[in-house]
Amino acid sequence: MTLEELRRIAESVGERRGWDFSRMRDARDPVPWDYLEVVRRYLRPTDRVLDVGTGGGEKLLSLTPYFATAIGIDASVAMVEDAQRNLAASQATNVSFHAMRAEELRCADVSFDVVINRHSVVDVSEAVRVLRYEGTFITQQVGARNTQNICALFGCGVGGEYGQEVESAAALADAFIRAGCRIVCLADYDVRYWFCDVESLVFWHKAIPMPEDFDIEVHWQLIEKIIADHGTPQGIETNEHRELLIARKR
């Protein structure tokens, strides 16, 4: 594809709002779990929930029928503003959103039944501090091998950053054990994944961003190479690597 064609696509797909990737068309091989289904299995109608790294609150708001109250936090003020707009549109009354860092939770000790986290920073000591006894921590993380062919081409990590290593779920599990928790589940999957069209690929590159300094004017030839080298009848092929960790506070 030419620079002009990719430039038009980049303009047409717009910008990500919150952490909403619903405009993408994608597909993947079958996977052993779905994050939201896992979380639902651990929620009770009386639970107080903390969602760390809530983004635009999209996932948390979809869970509102399953808990009593919840707080969603994110280090990004812009993300929290998006979450509050999504909250107003949802008309949910049992959720609030606040700007807060995972490393400095402004929450009382042993105040949550469940702490959830999806693709965000995990501070083990803070998560354990705010969990009630026998409370549950659930995280899904992007694995170190995610979109391996694309990351290798750009020379960046799975979050788009240069020179940054991903902390594995196994390392987090060790930290939770040292903090006195027991591990309920530690698992991962690595499956084939497809961007079904060029628009979805370009939107994803802009939205992550991938790499962190992504600019269609600078990186268009690499995008062209991804399309040429990995295009298939199903779409542009890469892989999806996810890790799941569930810990319980003793």
**pLDDT tens-digit map of 68-125:** 999 999 999 999 999 999 999 999 999 999 999 999 999 999 999 999 999 999 999 9
pLDDT for 202-213, tens place per residue? Answer: 999 999 999 999
> What is residue 31's predicted lDDT score, i.e. its pLDDT?
98
pLDDT value, residue 165: 83
Is the distance from CB of 55 to CB of 17 less than 8 angstroms?
no
Q: What is the value of pTM for the model shown?
A: 0.96
92-97's contacts with Cβ under 8 Å and 24+ in sequence apart are 92/61, 92/64, 94/64, 94/67, 94/68, 94/69, 94/70, 95/57, 95/60, 95/61, 95/64, 95/69, 95/70, 95/71, 96/70, 96/71, 96/72, 97/54, 97/57, 97/71, 97/72, 97/73
Confidence at 235, pLDDT banded by 50, 70, 90: very high
Pick 18 or 249 by higher pLDDT. Answer: 249
Q: Which pLDDT tens digit goes with each residue over 129-149?
A: 999 999 999 999 999 999 999
Q: What is the CATH number of domain 3-249?
A: 3.40.50.150
Give me the chain's average pLDDT, please. Answer: 97
pLDDT at 166 over 90: no
| Average pLDDT for 37-56 | 98
Residue 164, pLDDT above cutoff 90:
no
Q: pLDDT tens-digit profile of 184-199? A: 999 999 999 999 999 9
